[in-house]
Amino acid sequence: MKKILTSISLLLPTLAAAQNRFPKPDFESGYQYPDISYPVPDETLWVTLDLILLVVLMSIVAWAVIKKRTRKPILWVSVVSVAYFGFYRSGCVCSIGSIQNIALALVDNTYVLPLSVFLFFMLPIVFAFLFGRVFCAGVCPFGALQELVNIKNYRLPKALTAVLGMIPWLYLIFALLYAVTRSSFIICRFDPFIGIFRLGGDLGLIIFGGLLLLAAVFTGRPFCRFICPYGALLSLFSRVSIWKVELTKKPCINCELCHNACPVDAIRAPYDNKVKESRPMGVRRIANYFILLPLIIAVGAFLLQSVSGDLSRVHKDVKLYDLVVQNETDPQDILSVELEAFYGQGGTIEELTQRYNAVQADFRLYAAIAGALIGLVIGLTLINLSLKRSRKQYAIDQAACVACAKCFSYCPQNKIKPTNLIRK
C-alpha cells in the first residue's frame, strides 16, 4: 500500500500550474490597482492542501478497512471531513460536482478544465478501483455528515430500494445532459447540503437537506444510496476493486448479525432456490429480458428526444429566444433585464435564432443518447432483479458497500483470537 500511495502523491506537485479561482477583472480604462496592505489568499496553496488531505483521508480509510478491519479511524475521518471539507471549505471541494466539468470538457474544446477538478474527479475513482468506495466511507463530507447522525437503521422493502436505486443513475444522466449542452450544472444548483455547510442559502434546499439528515438518523445514508450520482459512478469501479472489503477472514457461520448491522443494506443473505426453478427456465427468462433490452433502449431514446424541446428551456439562449419572440409578437412597455441587455447590445433576431437552432439540435442528439441510457438502466435493473444467485453464506455487495466498517464488530468470527500453542 505504501508504494501505491507514494505513486499517487507524485501527482500532487503538478498543481503548481493551477490558476487563481477568482482572477481580478481586466480594466481597460487606465485604472490603477491600489497597493494591497493585506495578504491575498493563495488559492493554489488551498487546492494543494485539499488534494493532499483527500489522499491522506482515503488512505486512512483504506488502511482501516482492508488492513486493520476497524471502524474507529473512519469515524475520526468523518469528523475531519465534515469540519474541513464541509464547514471550513463550505462544501465546495466537491468530487460529486466535478462530473459536470469533465463532461463539458469532453464536448467543448474552449472549456479549460482545471487540473485540480480533474484530480478531485479521478482520485476517488482510482481508490475505488483499488480498495472499494473508501471515499464514500467518511471522506466525502455529505456521506460523513449522514454517517455521524445515524442512530437507528430501519430496513426498507427491497422493491422500494430497487426503484429508488435507479434515481442516482437517472440523476447522473440528466446532469451529463445539461452539462454537455452547456445549460446548467444541476448537481451544484440542487445540492441539498451546501446550504447547511454554508449556514445559509436557498430555503427549500436547506429544508430538503434537513429532511435527508433526519432520514439518515433512522436509515443509512439516504442521499448516498438514492440520490448521489457520483456514488453510482464509484459503484462501477468498486464492483471490480482489486482489494475488496471482506466480512471476515474466517468461515462465515451465517449468524445474520452483519446483515442486520449494515446501514446501507449492502450485505446479501444466503439464497437457496426455494421455488426450485429449473435452470432452463431461468435461462429463458433472462434471455427474454436481453431480447427486450434493445427495445427498452430504443423506446427510452425516442421518448426523451420527443421532449427535447421542453428540456432545452433550461438553456439561457432558449429562454432569451422565447422572451424575444413573445416581445416581438406582443411588445411590452416595460422590458425585462434580459430583453434590455439583448436590445441594448444590438442583438438581432437572426443571430439569436441561429443560436436557438444550434441548441435545439444539440438537445435532440444528446436527449436521444440520454434516453437510451435511461432505457439501459431500467433494462439492466430488471435483469438484475430477475437473477437468482445461489449463496451459501452472507456476502458483501461490493457495488453497494460504502466501506463504513460497521459490520466488522458485529461478526463473532472477528472476535475470535487464535489460541496460543503451548510449547512442551
4 located within any domain: no
Please report whether residue 230 resides in a domain: yes
Choose among 203, 197, 202: nearest CA to 90. 197
Residues 395 and 251 placed together within one structural domain of the fold: yes
CA distances from 114 to 110, 111, 159, 223, 414 (A): 13, 9, 41, 27, 45
Lowest mean pLDDT of 134-143, 205-214, 392-401, name the range: 392-401
Which of the residue ranges 3-12, 153-162, 254-263, 408-417 would you say has the lowest mean pLDDT? Answer: 3-12
In a domain, 137, yes or no: yes
Q: Which of 10-19, 74-83, 223-232, 317-326 has the lowest mean pLDDT?
A: 10-19
Half-sphere exposure of residue 317, counting CA atoms within 13 Å on the CB side? 21
How sure is the predictor about 384, in pLDDT bands with cuts at 50, 70 and 90? Answer: confident
Same domain, 358 and 400: no
Q: Which helix (H) or strand (E) holds 77?
A: helix 72-81
15, 191, 286, 321, 377 from 185: Cα distances, Å: 24, 10, 38, 21, 22
Between 406 and 421, the more confident residue is 406
Average pLDDT over residues 273-299: 80
Residue 130: in which H helix or E strand, if any? helix 115-131
Other CB atoms within 10 A of residue 249 CB: 8
- Measured over the CA atoms of residue 193, residue 197, residue 199 and residue 200, the dihedral's sign is negative
> Which range is least confidently modeled, 155-164, 359-368, 379-388?
379-388
Same domain, 290 and 145: no
191 and 313 in a single domain? The answer is no
Domain match, 233 and 378 both: no
pLDDT of res. 27: 40
Residue 70's identity, in one-letter code, is T
Query: Is the pLDDT score of 203 beyond 70?
Result: yes
CA dist 306 → 95, 299, 301, 312, 417 (Å): 32, 11, 9, 12, 63
Helix (H) or strand (E) holding 43: helix 43-62
Measured between alpha carbons, how far is 315 from 320 in angstroms, rounded to an integer? 9
Computed over every residue of the chain, the mean pLDDT equals 85
- Residue 216 lies inside a defined structural domain of this protein: yes
Question: What residues are paired with 201 via a beta bridge?
Answer: none
- Percent of the chain whose predicted confidence (pLDDT) is above 70: 86
CB 257 within 8 A of CB 415: no
> What is the average pLDDT across 261-282?
76
Residue 181's domain comprises 43-270+391-407
CA dist list (Å): 148 to 221, 373, 377, 419: 10, 34, 31, 36
Among 15, 93, 18, 100, which Cα is nearest to 57's? Answer: 93
| Shared-domain flag, residues 78 and 225 | yes
pLDDT for 216 equals 95
Query: Same domain, yes or no, for 111 and 248?
Result: yes
**pLDDT for residue 26 is more than 70:** no
User: What backbone phi and psi angles, to 5 degrees, belong to 223?
Assistant: -65, -45
Q: Does residue 75 sit in the same domain as residue 218?
A: yes
Residue 17 pLDDT greater than 60, yes or no:
no
pLDDT for residue 200: 86
Residue 412 domain flag = no
| Average pLDDT rounded to a whole number, residues 206-222 | 94
SS3 state of residue 400: coil
What's the one-letter identity of residue 237? F
Q: What is the pLDDT of residue 365?
A: 96
For residues 112 and 200, is the Cβ–Cβ distance under 8 A?
no
Span 258-270, average pLDDT: 89
State whether 233 and 376 are in the same domain: no
C-alpha–C-alpha distance, residues 372 and 378, integer Å? 10
Confidence of residue 305 (pLDDT cuts 50, 70, 90): very high
Percent of the chain with pLDDT over 90: 57
Domain identity same for 189 and 317: no
What's the CA gap between 154 and 156, in Å, rounded? 6
Assigned domain for 108 exists? yes
pTM of whole model > 0.75?
yes
pLDDT tens string 161-177: 988 999 999 999 999 99
Q: Bridge partners of 362?
A: none
Q: What is the pLDDT of residue 10?
A: 47
Does residue 24 lie within any of the structural domains? Answer: no
pLDDT tens string 27-56:
444 445 455 444 545 678 888 999 999 999
User: Which grid cell is 370?
Assistant: 440520454
d(C-alpha 8, C-alpha 11), whole Å: 6
pLDDT (average), residues 86-108: 89
User: Do residue 381 and residue 402 come from a single domain?
Assistant: no
Q: How confident is the model at residue 210 (pLDDT cuts 50, 70, 90)?
A: very high
* Cβ 399 vs Cβ 268: under 8 Å: no
Burial (CB < 10 A; 0-12, 13-18, 19+), residue 41, is exposed
Confidence of residue 289 (pLDDT cuts 50, 70, 90): confident
- Distance, CA of 375 to CA of 285 (rounded, Å): 19
| pLDDT tens sequence across 346-373 | 888 899 999 999 999 999 999 999 999 9
What was the pLDDT predicted at 45? 87
Number of domains composing the chain = 2
Q: Is the pLDDT of residue 213 over 70?
A: yes
316-329 helix and 337-344 helix, angle to the nearest 10 degrees: 90
Q: For residue 17, tell me if it sits in a domain.
A: no
Are residue 190 and residue 214 in the same domain, yes or no? yes
